[in-house]
């Protein structure tokens, strides 16, 4: 009787085999992490774009209302503005548009709280005019904000953006926090919108090629669809009446009122296109860098956010 031969037992894995297995597992882990990171990055970008776009739509609607009010022939301040603007109705309407925009869309707490002095225009109802100089009071939605906040400029702009969209509204229109579910954060005692990367979302009232750190990011503002004609650059001044204002005394007074609290002329009517835009700091969480996400690009340039 022959006994069946037992199959030889396999020895332990060799070092080379173990290294191959470990290498394969490491590659699979790296691929998995990369895929997860890519998915998360895509989700953060989509969340950011969605929140920025919603806020931009709200600002655009409010800006349209402000424009209609400022340019209406029924505007009771138009005659006063015309007398200050050398009798030019288009110039007066553009000037009122700038003034109303500064009141409705303040970028700092000081702007939000202080009345806006207007030489020769008069006062808005509910606020006594300064003798010889009109003024637009700050909006009541900003009345509880401190003049000295201790916040950075972009943080103040973020707090004001939230209030403009959800608290202030404009002419009876406003959104709700539910529309921004999961996209709200706090900065100290104040609420603000946040992007998909966890950073507060701010805004710029007059975003232009010569707006400080934004200089290199604005080539698209000097091209279609923002340029309808070589001489009609600024959407706040479609007729070019402010840029080409011959009366330098009145023009310089307006420049000071619009852009410099001290009253000295700056570059309000520089002839370059300006837009009101929401802005996210983007993936690097730092404002004024190449990956910032801009609302005007999302809403007007077919999804090109930065």
What integer pLDDT is reported at residue 144 of this predicted model? 87
**How far does CA 171 lie from the centroid of its chain?**
20
51 or 226, which is more confident: 51
In a domain, 177, yes or no: no
* Maximum average pLDDT range among 92-96, 146-150, 277-281, 302-306: 277-281
pLDDT at 257 over 70: no
In a domain, 40, yes or no: no
Distances (CA, A) of 95 to 8, 109, 178, 201: 96, 23, 36, 29
97: left (phi over 0), alpha (psi -120 to 50) or beta: alpha
> Structural domain tally of the chain?
1
In a domain, 214, yes or no: yes
In a domain, 36, yes or no: no
Summarize pLDDT for 150-194 with one digit per residue, the tens. 999 999 999 999 999 887 655 545 567 778 888 999 999 999 999
Could you give the CA distance from residue 28 to residue 247 in angstroms, rounded to a whole number?
Answer: 72
Domain that holds residue 162: 52-170+182-300
Q: How confident is the model at residue 280 (pLDDT cuts 50, 70, 90)?
A: very high
Summarize pLDDT for 122-146 with one digit per residue, the tens. 444 444 443 444 566 777 788 888 8
What integer pLDDT is reported at residue 152 of this predicted model? 92
- Going by C-alpha positions, the residue among 89, 86, 111 that lies closest to residue 101 is 111
Mean pLDDT of 41-45: 82
In a domain, 4, yes or no: no
According to DSSP, the residues that pair with 186 across neighbouring strands are: 191
Given a contact cutoff of 8 angstroms between Cβ atoms, the answer to whether 157 and 108 are in contact is yes
pTM of the predicted model, to two decimals?
0.74
In a domain, 5, yes or no: no
In a domain, 41, yes or no: no
In a domain, 281, yes or no: yes
136 burial level (CB within 10 Å; 0-12, 13-18, 19+): buried
């Amino acid at each position: 009787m022959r006994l069946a031969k037992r199959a030889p037992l396999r020895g332990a894995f060799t070092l080379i085999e173990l290294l191959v297995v470990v290498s394969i597992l490491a590659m699979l882990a790296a691929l998995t992490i990369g895929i997860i990171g890519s998915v998360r990055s895509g989700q953060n970008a989509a969340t950011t774009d969605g929140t920025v776009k919603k806020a931009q739509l709200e600002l655009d609607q409010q800006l349209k209302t402000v424009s209609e009010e400022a340019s209406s022939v029924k505007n009771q301040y138009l005659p006063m503005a015309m007398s200050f603007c050398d009798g030019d109705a288009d110039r007066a309407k553009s000037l009122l548009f700038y003034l109303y925009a500064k009141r409705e869309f303040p970028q700092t707490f000081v702007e939000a709280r202080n009345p806006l002095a207007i030489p020769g225009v008069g006062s808005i109802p509910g606020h006594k005019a300064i003798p010889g100089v009109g003024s637009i009071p700050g909006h009541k939605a900003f009345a509880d904000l401190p003049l000295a906040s201790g916040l950075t400029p972009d943080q103040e702009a973020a707090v004001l953006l939230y209030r403009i969209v959800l608290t202030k509204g404009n002419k009876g229109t406003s959104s709700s926090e539910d529309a921004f579910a999961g996209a709200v954060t706090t900065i100290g005692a104040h609420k603000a919108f946040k992007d998909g990367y966890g950073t507060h979302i701010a805004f710029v009232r007059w975003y232009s090629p010569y707006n400080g750190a934004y200089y290199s990011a604005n080539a698209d503002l000097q091209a279609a669809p923002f340029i309808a004609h070589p001489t009609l650059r600024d959407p706040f001044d479609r007729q070019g009446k402010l840029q080409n204002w011959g009366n330098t005394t009145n023009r310089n007074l307006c420049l000071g009122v619009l852009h410099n609290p001290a009253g000295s002329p700056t570059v309000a009517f520089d002839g370059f296109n300006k837009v009101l835009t929401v802005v996210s700091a983007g993936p690097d969480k730092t404002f004024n860098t190449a990956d910032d996400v801009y609302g005007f690009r999302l809403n007007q340039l077919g999804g090109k956010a930065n």
